[in-house]
Amino acid sequence: MKNLKSLSLTFAFILILGVLAACGNAPNDAEQGEGNGEGASSENVSGEVAIDGSSTVFPIMENLTYQYSQKNPDVNATVNSSGSGGGFKKATKGEIDLSNASREIKEEEKAKAEENGIQLEPLSLAYDGLSVVVSQKNDFVDELSVEQLRQIFKASSEAKNWSDINPEWPNEPIEIFSPGHDSGTFDYFNEVILEEEPMKEGQNTTLSEDDNVLVRGIKDNPNAIGFFGYAYYAENKDALKVLGIKDGENAEAIKPSGETIQDGSYTPLSRPLFTYVNVNAYKEKPQVRDFVEFTLNNAGKAAEEVGYVALPEEKYQEQLDKVKGWTE
């Protein structure tokens, strides 16, 4: 009996040691979220994260909010797409936490935010190559020079038909599909191609903040031409043809690709994509802080999954270190 009692005590002691060892080997929440490549939440968070802005950045952020919601079901992260300008209008009033943008913030937008006591700071998410596309049914255009783009899109140009650009091309009206004026993509195209001059509008021109509207308008129309972010071309390459762009009459025509966008040879239409963070929201709302850090841990993967080009890994880490400094 005495031996049986001793055996029972010994067995109980071994069980206790096993439990303690298991507890000691289990990582705590903070360790699980640190450096695992997925940016898992380091705390239980809940609440709202409001995101709006660029339609170009939308696919990246849609991917990120979906992935985040799988790990953090108590956080409602919503992303809308009103264009870069539309996002900044809301961000400068403090109505949203993150403002996606395919261009840098304008001085007047920055001043408006400062008037309202709001600090907006940019984070780079990916690289994009603004893509000039026609329908796969277009069998006459494969490349254009920057000067030819100006002839097609500038309001001051008298070119109306494709034959006005090249006499060997059809004597058919050029039908333009372009992002709207609230779009950062429009602003970028306006700066580097149109040289800040007005674009053609009215007959044979369709403007929309929704890039999917542009895709639908171009894909079955052999006389159509338009432009938008590379991801929208990549998603619809079976119906669309991306054009090579010559930055100068004697230059080589370069098409956008992961390689040409990242190395800058696709010029002048390569550009970074941003989200602007409301720093006060980051400091005051744990769910915003958690989502921003998740974004930087996962933006590269999300960008590539939707058709954009990731930044070098060290660029994400540099930005992660920067945002963590906002609360110190």
Stronger pLDDT, 24 or 203, i.e. the higher one: 203
> In this prediction, what percent of the chain has a pLDDT beyond 90?
82
The average pLDDT across 211-238 equals 96
Intrachain domains 41-126+273-327 and 131-268 with the same fold: yes
Per residue in 184-200, pLDDT tens?
A: 999 999 999 999 999 99
| HSE-up of residue 209 (Cα within 13 Å, Cβ side) | 18
pLDDT of residue 284: 97
Helix (H, G, I), strand (E, B) or coil at 299: helix
Q: How far apart are the first and last CA of the chain?
A: 63
The average pLDDT across 241-246 equals 98
The residues near 258 (Cβ < 8 Å, ≥ 6 apart) are 304, 309
Per residue in 22-54, pLDDT tens?
A: 444 433 333 333 333 455 455 689 999 999 999
Rounded alpha-carbon distances, angstroms, from residue 44 to 17, 40, 64, 97: 30, 11, 18, 19
pLDDT of residue 250: 84
Architecture label for domain 131-268: 3-Layer(aba) Sandwich (3.40)
pLDDT of residue 262: 87
pLDDT of residue 328: 81
Per residue in 63-114, pLDDT tens?
A: 999 999 999 999 999 999 999 999 999 999 999 999 999 999 999 999 999 9
How high is the mean pLDDT of the chain? 89
The CATH superfamily of 41-126+273-327 is Periplasmic binding protein-like II (3.40.190.10)
> In this prediction, what percent of the chain has a pLDDT beyond 70?
87
pLDDT of residue 236: 96
> How sure is the predictor about 140, in pLDDT bands with cuts at 50, 70 and 90?
very high
**Domain residue spans of the chain:** 41-126+273-327, 131-268
Per residue in 3-19, pLDDT tens?
A: 433 434 333 333 333 43
Closest to 299 (Cα-Cα) out of 275, 271, 281: 275
pLDDT of residue 43: 64
| CA dist., res. 240 & res. 252, Å (int) | 22
Return the minimum-mean-pLDDT range out of 138-147, 202-211, 272-281, 295-304: 202-211
